[in-house]
Amino acid sequence: MVTLGLSDLKPMLTALLLPPVPLLVLVLAGARLLTSSRRREWGAMLLLSGVLLLWLSCCAAVGHALERGLLHPPPALSEARIQATRQDAAARGKAVVLILGGGRESLAPEYGEAHLSARSMQRLHYGLWLARRLNAPVMFSGGTGLAQAPGPAEADIAARVAERDYGRRLRWVENTSRDTRENASASLAMLADQGITELVLVTHGWHMPRAVRAFEEAAARRSQAIQIIPAPMGLAAPLDRPTLNWLPSHEGFAQVRLVVREVFGRLLGA
């Protein structure tokens, strides 16, 4: 799509591929077939399948099962791994904590200015915490996404929040990228002459496999010798009672959509 100049269509096509749109089409197709005397059985089967899949697509248990079964996110960094990474960086070269953006609010009325989305704030918080443990500088990567309205770049907002609210200045601010692949290419270009040997990548667990692939491929294209260390976050299992995890919820629906989006992204090379 980038080659053909169709990048602007990417958010719309993504929305059409994600639940509930395909499942609603399945329900409508089943309802239409029910009006046919020859195909009522097929119609009933499609209708019931669509309703059942709609229910399951809203369940937290399904979302977390799909994440583990289809995406295989790496485990969170353990205390031992954090200490080993810090020692390796001190002995062999420099490490940097790179935080990938996850969205922004062009205007948050409570602040009277642009702000990071909840997802981006979670990544920024963990990235700054991890950087203190590693004694490493921080980079934030994120411009204005393809699905976002014009406004301040996400990385610029993150730099303001980090310095004002956390007392930590970001060493690098990559504010031109629009998606994960551009995160990788633009970030590695900025770090090319900085002597960085290890890149500790911070993003949500469901996004990490695709993000690592993008950075490894970008590093290979640039012949850039840099080790990508995944530092996933947001891996906590749901704490609700098991029966509640099989009931429709906003969290469950959001999780299923995220997993399906990542699966399509990996298959289509995003």
In a domain, 153, yes or no: yes
Q: Are residues 253 and 138 in the same domain?
A: no
Q: Are residues 205 and 135 in the same domain?
A: yes
Say how many C-beta atoms besides its own lie within 10 A of residue 50's C-beta: 21
Give CA–CA dist 62/178, Å, rounded: 30
Give CA–CA dist 125/212, Å, rounded: 20
Give the pLDDT confidence score for residue 50 in this predicted structure: 96
Q: Are residues 137 and 199 in the same domain?
A: yes
Q: Model confidence over 234-243: pLDDT tens digits?
A: 998 776 678 8
The total of structural domains in the chain comes to: 2
Closest to 224 measured CA to CA, from 127, 96, 128: 96
Give CA–CA dist 78/68, Å, rounded: 19
pTM of the model: 0.91
Q: Are residues 36 and 142 in the same domain?
A: no
Q: Give average pLDDT by consecutive 10-residue segment, the chain, 270 residues.
A: 65 88 95 84 93 96 94 94 84 86 93 95 98 95 85 96 96 95 96 90 97 96 93 84 89 95 86
Which domain covers residue 173, as residue numbers? Answer: 79-233
